[in-house]
Amino acid sequence: MEHPKSYKTASKTQKKLVMWFLFCTLIVLSLLSITLGTYEISVFDIYFTLGKHLTPFYTDVPINKLYETIIWKLRFPRIILAIVVGMSLAIAGAVYQSVFRNPLVEPYILGVSSGAAFGAALAIVFSGLFLGVQVMAFLFGGLAVMAAYYLASQRGETPVIMLVLSGVIISSLFMAFVSILKYTADTSALREIVFWMMGGFYYATWEDVVYIIPILAFSFAILWYNSWKLNVLSMGDEEAKSLGVNPEKTKFIAVALATLVTAFSVSLVGIVAWIGLMMPHAARMLLGPDNRYVIPTAALMGGTYLIICDTIARTFATHEIPIGIITSIIGAPYLCYLIKAKGKVLFGGA
Amino acid sequence: MLTVSDLSFSYGHTRVLSNISMHVEKGALCGLFGPNGSGKTTLFKCCLQLLRHYQGAIRIEGRDISQLRVEEVAKVISYVPQEHRPPFPYLASEVVLMGRSPYLGGIFGLSKKDEYIASDAMNLIGISELADIPYTTLSGGQRQMVLIARALAQKTQAIFLDEPTAALDYQNQHLVWKVIRDIAEDGMTVLACTHNPNHVSWYCDHAVVLGRNGIIGTGDPKTVMSQDMLNQLYCGSCAIRNLEGIPLILPQDVICRSGMVKNGDIM
């Protein structure tokens, strides 16, 4: 047999170094992002306000109430939320791509975004009648995925092709429902629905952050623990079985947790496109396809990417730009580049 | 070692296997031979517990394997599928390491020991130099070898190969069979299904021939791979010739064209 030229691959140590580097980038960018904003505050005042909250020092020093509100109640939770949502979507993307054995899958494929959009639209149009927008979005997002999963399962098995099909069916059904609501909604409600669907961190509060962080931490831990099984699963159900990995059990855990974090993210900030598709790719390009590295790396990159996008969203123009627009405008050229330059290796085509 | 008794299986209303019984000795290289649609793959999948709702019993060393959980089956039988291209470019060494998945344990999953076993398996069949190459960029023969190494890393009592040489060029077919032969010589029980009657008579210790209505021959390939059996399967389109003691199964029309037919009679 002929031997193709040998490839240079990163060693374990190199991979760990790359992950530490990404972690530091994330921290530095967050600290940079907090200094940017429409209201000018001196860098010293910003870090002083932050330091007062995050460290046990300066507790008795009086603080400017306005700065307190802008830095601690607006910008800081917003940055944390951007990181957490970026991480959630990136992890969910990596997991979905492995389960679906397809690098072009994104976390919305089973209908979580359309379900959530319908839930949100219901809450907006009939405000006061149902629960709040976030709760409704979460409930219907979860409901849509459950429906798709149930539709796809036959005799205890859930073939990937059936999952894709039922995801498409459920998504278009819920999008049709959303259209009905849009059609009947009055102008202000319509505007609100459209804005919700483009995504944004305008209303980020500490409350959101406190809810989503433990959920993300829990899901991340379980998914990372199962990351090797996800590698095996991406070889196909039968092969996974013969390698001692129960495909149905692993698939169910993976889809359930990835959906949980996605539904939470979508319910808090609306539909943010591209993160779940792009970040796992970028992670794979850096460190190879082993999910033990892809999942944490994609998470770090997702957080970083969303901080950059959200900082642009809130500082670029006098009015806020919906985040979905920015992630797409930056994301599309990146993916074009990926397909042109690395398509062969990345997508396994010959 | 492997005993199949009275195995029957239907897909819906289509009966694919009925009352199949066979036995494979420990350390034997058994060739499972039969035309398309004879149920080879179904028999395989039943033995591997990939298909569960069959009638009859499949035992390995006396243990009924239908009682075992997925991880436990994977510690007893390993499976070498036909080579394929997965969607992600895992390195060959990572694909081999997947053979250690039945032994996953603890928070850290795979240990250093698992990595040694995987690299040993690659060493054993002489493909260590492929370790750092993405599996998706390997040639078909190389991918098949990586999958065999993965099965070895699984440290099972038996290895099942599904048409291991179906998609390979002539040289690689024999390279792969030689490796399979070596594995059996080391004491592993091997069951390989194939379309090529020559491979059965050249490489296997034991042959099981599946016809359209169940098993039509089982035992030593020298006796099983007879003209009678070939006539039954291929309606007289093949004949056996002997080349210095090695049986050679040839298509009838090739024999006719080359004038190997002496005095008009077919041996």
For B79, which residue in chain A has the nearest alpha carbon?
A: A242
Alpha helices, DSSP H, located in A185-269: 187-198, 206-225, 227-233, 237-242, 247-269
- The chain A residues in contact with chain B (CB within 8 A) are 1-4, 6-9, 98, 101-103, 225, 228-229, 231-232, 234-236, 238-239, 241-246, 284, 288-290, 292, 345-348, 350
Domain A33-342, CATH among 1.10.3470.10, 3.40.50.150, 1.10.30.50, 3.20.20.70: 1.10.3470.10
Tell me the domain boundaries of chain A: 33-342
Asked if B81 lies within 8 A of A238 by C-beta distance, the reply is yes
Predicted confidence at residue B211, as pLDDT, reads 85
Give the model confidence (pLDDT) of A244-277 as tens digits.
999 999 999 999 999 999 998 988 888 898 899 8
Residue linked to tokens 């962080």: A213
Predicted confidence at residue B206, as pLDDT, reads 92
Give the model confidence (pLDDT) of A149-190 as tens digits.
999 888 778 888 888 899 999 999 999 999 999 999 888 889
Put simply, whether B168 touches A (Cβ < 8 Å) is no
For B208, residues 6+ apart whose C-beta sits below 8 A from its C-beta are B22, B24, B30, B31, B32, B33, B215, B217, B218
Output the six-digit token pair for B5: 């008794």
Q: What is the mean pLDDT of residues B51-73?
A: 89
The dihedrals phi and psi of B218, each to the nearest 5 degrees, come to: -150, 140
Predicted confidence at residue A204, as pLDDT, reads 85
Instruction: Give the separation between CA A237 and CA B163, rounded to whole angstroms.
Output: 19
Tell me if A92 sits within 8 A of A66, measured CB to CB: no
Q: Which of B257, B50, B159, B168 minimizes the C-alpha distance to A242?
A: B50
Instruction: Give the class (CATH, top level) of B2-236.
Output: alpha beta
Give the model confidence (pLDDT) of B207-239 as tens digits.
999 988 888 888 898 888 888 888 888 888 888
Give the model confidence (pLDDT) of B67-108 as tens digits.
888 889 999 999 999 888 888 989 999 999 999 999 987 666
Instruction: Give the separation between CA A240 and CA A224, rounded to whole angstroms.
Output: 18
Q: What is the mean pLDDT of residues A69-82?
A: 90
Instruction: Give the separation between CA B169 and CA A5, rounded to whole angstroms.
Output: 21
Instruction: Give the separation between CA B253 and CA B259, rounded to whole angstroms.
Output: 10
> Who among A98, A235, A243 is closest to B74 (CB)?
A243
Instruction: Give the separation between CA A183 and CA A173, rounded to whole angstroms.
Output: 15
pLDDT of residue B188 exceeding 60: yes
> Please, which residues 70-99 of chain B have a Cβ atom closer than 8 Å to chain A?
70-75, 77-79, 81, 84-91, 94-95, 98-99
> Who among B101, B136, B154 is closest to A348 (CB)?
B136
Number of H helices, E strands in chain B: 10, 12
For A237, which residue in chain B has the nearest alpha carbon?
A: B50
DSSP annotation of A155: T
Instruction: Give the separation between CA A124 and CA A189, rounded to whole angstroms.
Output: 6
Count residue pairs from A and B with Cβ separation < 8 A.
Answer: 113
Tell me the domain boundaries of chain B: 2-236
> Mean of the per-residue pLDDT values for chain B?
88
